[in-house]
């Protein structure tokens, strides 16, 4: 199997997750993506970053 080639990046996304959303959460995500003109994956990454402040250190 040959290695995949693609655009070089400074921040490769190696982790893949699958999430099931209820209708309300899906609507919120879709509306955010329309408003901010971003992909769903990018919106989810932004949401995860916002959780960082809630981590007890």
Total domains present in the chain: 1
Q: Is residue 3 part of a domain?
A: no
Q: CA-CA distance, 30 to 24, in Å (whole number)?
A: 10
Q: Is residue 5 part of a domain?
A: no
Q: Is residue 8 part of a domain?
A: no
Q: What is the pTM of this model?
A: 0.76
Q: Is residue 29 part of a domain?
A: yes
pLDDT higher than threshold 70 for residue 52 = yes
pLDDT in tens, 16-42: 999 999 999 999 999 999 999 999 999
Q: Is residue 47 part of a domain?
A: yes
Q: Is residue 1 part of a domain?
A: no
pLDDT higher than threshold 80 for residue 50 = yes
């Amino acid at each position: 199997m040959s290695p995949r080639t693609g655009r070089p990046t400074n921040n490769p996304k190696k982790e893949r997750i699958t999430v099931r959303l209820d209708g309300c959460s899906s609507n919120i995500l879709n509306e955010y993506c329309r408003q901010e003109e971003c992909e769903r994956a990018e919106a989810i990454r932004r949401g995860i970053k916002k959780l960082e402040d809630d981590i007890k250190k």
